[in-house]
Structure 1
Amino acid sequence: MMVLKFYLCISFEDLSIVVSKTPMYKQFCHIPLDQDAPTDTAMMKITKKYGLEIIQQLKLNDNFIRELRKQKIIKGRKLRVDTTVIESNIAYPTDAELLFKGVQKLETTMTTIKEKCGQNVRKYAKKNERNEAKTS
């Protein structure tokens, strides 16, 4: 659970709730699906008992990555991070824009699936067909 705590960057209280409600995290932590995760106070006591230094000395992240490499789940290439900060105006997406982009993505995916299944697919949108009909 400490790997998840460091990975998700959350508090003990949030960690307990997230692990209890997420079957994938329960399986990762070897907690039976019919049981709840340890409480936040229990995890704090364990951390206090063994000390945060001991947990950090275990290098959980390094051991975890080494094991993933060994099992060939990841390639373990180097990661570069650029921390340059540039001030700029950010245009945050609206709900309507996100919905529109989602609909577009679904439409292109469905078109691709229909083409692969051998169905006839319209090559132009209805809007373009109406404009062509008006100009003719």
Structure 2
Amino acid sequence: MGQPSEKSPTGLSAPVEAMLSPDWAKAVRALVLALAVTTVTSLVSRTLKATAGEIAPIWLTNAALLAQMMVAPHRQLWWAFAGGVLGYLIANFLAGESLGVSVSYSCANVLEVMVALAFARLSQRSPSCFV
């Protein structure tokens, strides 16, 4: 079993078995969920912007991603983050934004989510520091 070319008892190579593990499935699920929620809420937010007299409710998307990242186990946190980044980029592309605008909007949104996540994690460790 020490040779990299040998197969495991199930007949699959180790990387394939790792991809089929429950942890891998949970990570992919976190990525896909964040991607879908971020894309949909971002597009809904743009629709609300168009119907609400140019007031951009962008925080809807950031709140949804932040909530998912706050409850995600540590192993899935960065997968959810990656899904959120991809979701922001896809939504901006679908809305017809250029690559530069899409990246800048996505970076701003991700920065906001990461700062909020950092403060949320800090307050969970010592809630008395804000009283």
Please identify the structure whose Cα radius of gyration is greater. Answer: 1
Quickly name the TM-score band, shorter chain normalised.
under 0.3
Between 1 and 2, higher relative CO (CA 8 Å, sep ≥ 6) is seen in: 2
